[in-house]
């Protein structure tokens, strides 16, 4: 058994906080990982892991070896990736999780464009509004709105995620335009149930104070694409991410309303795990998405 294999096992045991968790992540048995670490200690003639407590801890020598081993393995993987990229190009499978609102045509475009640019990378895109665990569920990248709470993740900003209220011109002509959120009580609302507030929509008054206004839902649905289509059909007023209706707003098929009362939106980020080594496929995807939205936002002023 080579030293690098034992080294990887040792690092995974430390990072996972124990043999059982490391075995689950690596798909190896707990006994095998314990054997690898013991062989590494025998090779070094040094105790690396304290085995007297229920919680794994490192000896002083173990901590020093861990720091050096992390650096060594990162250099090895960097060298391997550099050769792969120069000789064969970037390839592999990239698993992405994103909210359902990403299904809007304006946001599908960069992912489709990436797939055409990097045909050797197979994309698996899972649209789900729940907050998945990237590491446990083995996703490479997540597209998320809002600030990160988990410091073990790295985020790259992609674009603004403004929220708009909109309706069709026919609906507004029939039912009248609105000058204040309180007037929503007399209107039909198309509610996206993915929003936490559901029937209570947030607004900001002229003094900067936030408040909510309850709305009467004529349709509740958990997909912004259907909310948009219902608004286009003249069913009522809906609340959706601006990027999901950019084309409709630009062409006048939908009209943005109550803009002066809308709270500032969060941003969309590409999120990935804080690993010792970021794979080439993740790097090129993040760079591609960042550049695509930078060019798009520069021309559309999102």
Q: What is the pLDDT of residues 197-235, one digit of tens each?
A: 788 999 999 888 999 999 999 999 987 788 999 999 999
- For 298, residues 6+ apart whose C-beta sits below 8 A from its C-beta are none
* 74 and 207 share one domain: no
Tell me, yes or no, whether 273 and 153 share the same domain: yes
Burial of residue 209 (CB within 10 Å: 0-12, 13-18, 19+) is exposed
* 297 touches 160 (CB < 8 A): yes
pTM: 0.56
Q: Kindly state the percentage of the chain with pLDDT values over 90.
A: 33
Are both 199 and 272 inside the same structural domain?
Answer: no
The set of residues, in sequence order, having a beta carbon less than 8 Å from that of 111 and lying 6+ positions away, is 96, 102, 123, 125, 289
Please provide the average confidence, as pLDDT, over all residues in the chain: 84
Domain count, the chain: 3
- CATH number for the domain spanning 167: value is 3.40.190.10
How far apart are the C-alpha atoms of 302 and 300, rounded to whole Å?
6
pLDDT at residue 251 is higher than 90? yes
Instruction: Look at residues 87, 111, 144 and tell me which one is the last residue of a structural domain.
Output: 87
Residues 123 and 153 in one domain: yes
Supply the pLDDT for residue 301: 43
Q: Name 89's Cβ contacts closer than 8 Å, sequence gap at least 6.
A: 118, 120
Give the range of the structural domain holding residue 146, as residue numbers without chain letter: 92-160+266-300
Q: Which of 69, 87, 105 is the last residue of a domain?
A: 87
- The larger pLDDT score, comparing residue 71 to residue 119, is at 119
pLDDT in tens, 130-154: 777 777 777 889 888 765 665 568 8
Instruction: Indicate if 152 and 167 belong to the same structural domain.
Output: no
Q: What is the DSSP letter of 146?
A: S
């Amino acid at each position: 058994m080579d030293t690098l294999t034992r080294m990887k096992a040792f690092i995974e045991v430390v990072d996972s906080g124990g043999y059982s968790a490391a075995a689950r992540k690596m798909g190896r048995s707990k006994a095998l990982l314990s054997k690898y670490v013991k062989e590494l200690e025998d090779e070094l003639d040094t105790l690396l892991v304290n085995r007297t407590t229920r919680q794994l801890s490192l000896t002083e020598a173990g901590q020093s070896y861990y720091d050096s081993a992390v650096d060594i393995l990162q250099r090895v993987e960097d060298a391997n990736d550099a050769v792969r990229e120069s000789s064969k190009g970037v390839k592999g499978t990239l698993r992405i999780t994103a909210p359902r609102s990403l299904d809007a045509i304006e946001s599908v475009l960069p992912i489709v464009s990436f797939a055409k640019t990097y045909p050797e990378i197979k994309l698996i895109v899972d649209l789900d509004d729940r907050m998945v665990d990237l590491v446990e569920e083995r996703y490479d990248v997540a597209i998320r709105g809002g600030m990160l709470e988990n410091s073990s993740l790295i985020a790259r900003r992609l674009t603004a995620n403004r929220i708009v209220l909109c309706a069709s011109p026919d609906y507004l002509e029939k039912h009248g335009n609105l000058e204040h959120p309180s007037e929503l009580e007399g209107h039909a609302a198309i509610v996206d149930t993915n929003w936490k507030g559901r029937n209570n929509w947030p607004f900001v008054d002229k003094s900067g104070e936030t408040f909510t206004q309850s709305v009467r839902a004529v349709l509740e649905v958990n997909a912004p694409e259907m909310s948009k289509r219902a608004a286009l059909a003249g069913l009522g007023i809906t609340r959706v991410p601006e990027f999901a209706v950019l084309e409709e707003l630009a062409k006048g098929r939908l009209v943005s309303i109550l803009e002066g009362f809308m709270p500032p939106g969060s941003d969309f980020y590409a999120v990935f795990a804080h690993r010792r080594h970021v794979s080439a496929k993740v790097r090129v995807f993040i760079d591609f998405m960042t550049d695509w939205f930078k060019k798009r936002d520069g021309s559309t002023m999102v």
